[in-house]
Amino acid sequence: METRRVVVTGMGAITPLGNSVEEFWQGLKEGRNGIGPITKVDTTDFPVKIAGEVKDFDPKKYMDFKSAKRMGLFSQYAVAATKEAFEQSGINMEDEDPFRVGVIVGCGIGCMQKHEKEIPKFLSGQKLDPLYIPLVIANMASANISIQFGLKGKNMDVSTACATGTHCIGEAYNSIRLGEADVIVAGGTEAAITATGIKGFAALTALTTEPDPEKASRPFDKDRSGFVLGEGAGILILEDYDHAVKRGAKILAEIVGYGVTNDAYHITSPSPDGSGAGMAMKIAIQNAGVAPTNIDYINAHGTSTHLNDLYETRAIKYAFGPAAKSVSINSTKSMTGHLLGGAGAIEAIVCVKSILDSYVHVTRNSVEGEEELDLDYTFGEGKSRDITYAMSNSLGFGGHNATIIFKKV
């Protein structure tokens, strides 16, 4: 069966390092830290004091007040990032068949802010907000994007915890390859910096209790102590290559590989031998029609937890063999924290920008690995490197693994 080529023609980002792709990318290149003291929650009695918060976000810059009021924060982030991505892509919906333009944007958790507001009402016998359910359910990011921009094609919410963003982009890639759509808005979003979000992940002992933002998120470092919670959204406009060329679009990169597996091992821990995530990488590489030696750069899941970083390193070695030593690796989470459902999406944007700028950003705060953590994780400073193929990995609770590969056009 003949398949179509899939390219990226627009990107948008709301992140702890800035509320646009350029602000975000410039922050990464400069090695700035988007992690700081939590301001959205009173953490006096909490063991966790820091997070990667979005700053200076005003939804009215991106949508009318009435629309914003009918969205949870995670949906607002997604719609805002989509607006930027659409503007960059130059797509004019008046020239498009709206049933050929879809949306696959996911969220790992949904609107925790609204849960926290409404559940005490329920427990005390008060009347609930009529919009309680439409505000909290995770599919509403995808739904609200469709409503705001008039997109009537394939619409889905893939929710696979921390692999959500990458799965959404990969599934959109497959849909366009198979002719189900000409254009798909793809990505992920999350807004879980809330009392229950922080305490819930802290109860799992997944979050670092390090109070110093300069020492907290340390992916692949021997002194790593847990991940930092982040928030935001990343959106990519994926498009059939011929469709993009026909309308004169500027093509940013091409997606050429996608791999999906499950560890079938544990609800929170990756598989110790790395075979699950490693096989996702192998499938993506095979799908791309290249060899491991062709991959120049990996944006790792790199959460700064003891198990993830070790097992992901084993997964890279499982997939790459001797070539694992020559590939450049980094973790964006060192500067943003972990955006959960939005992580894979902003990290996909990093892959595209790394290709365009021939640059691998630093893994901030990390200094020294340990016995098995012996790959090139870009400690110390970023570096210039010509990148033809860039890979992004995402590993989600429940054993969900997703890998996508971008190619320079």
Q: Is 338 a catalytic residue?
A: yes
Distance, in Å, from the CA atom of 407 to the CA atom of 39, rounded to the nearest integer, reads: 39
For residue 185, give both structure tokens: 């808005």
Q: Is 266 a catalytic residue?
A: no
Distance, in Å, from the CA atom of 326 to the CA atom of 322, rounded to the nearest integer, reads: 8
Residues 6+ apart with CB under 8 A from 177: 3, 4, 5, 6
Distance, in Å, from the CA atom of 316 to the CA atom of 372, rounded to the nearest integer, reads: 12
CB 64 within 8 A of CB 46: no
For residue 385, give both structure tokens: 């490197």
pLDDT tens-digit map of 34-58: 999 999 999 999 999 999 999 999 9
Set 107, 168, 243, 301: catalytic member: 301
- Which residues of the chain register pLDDT less than 70? 1
Q: Is 167 a catalytic residue?
A: no
Measured CA angle at 275 (ends 300, 316), to 5 deg = 35
> Across 325-386, where does the E strand assignment appear?
328-330, 359-360, 383-384
CB 20 within 8 A of CB 192: no
> Nearest CA to 169 among 108, 109, 106, 231?
106
Q: What is the pLDDT of residue 1?
A: 67
Cβ neighbours of 96 (radius 10 Å): 18
Measured CA angle at 376 (ends 374, 380), to 5 deg = 110
The model's pTM is: 0.98
Q: How far is CA 393 from the centre of its chain?
A: 10
* DSSP element (H, E) containing 278: helix 275-288
Set 162, 167, 361, 400: catalytic member: 162
Measured CA angle at 181 (ends 177, 182), to 5 deg = 85
* DSSP element (H, E) containing 346: helix 343-357
* Helix, strand, coil percent values for the chain (each to nearest 5): 40, 20, 40
Packed helices 73-89 and 140-149: angle between N→C axes, nearest 10 degrees: 40
- In the chain, the amino acid numbered 67 is S
Set 167, 243, 338, 361: catalytic member: 338
Length, in residues, of the chain: 409
- Identify the DSSP state of 176: H
Beta bridge partners of 13: 234
Enumerate domains of the chain plus CATH numbers: 6-246 (3.40.47.10), 257-407 (3.40.47.10)
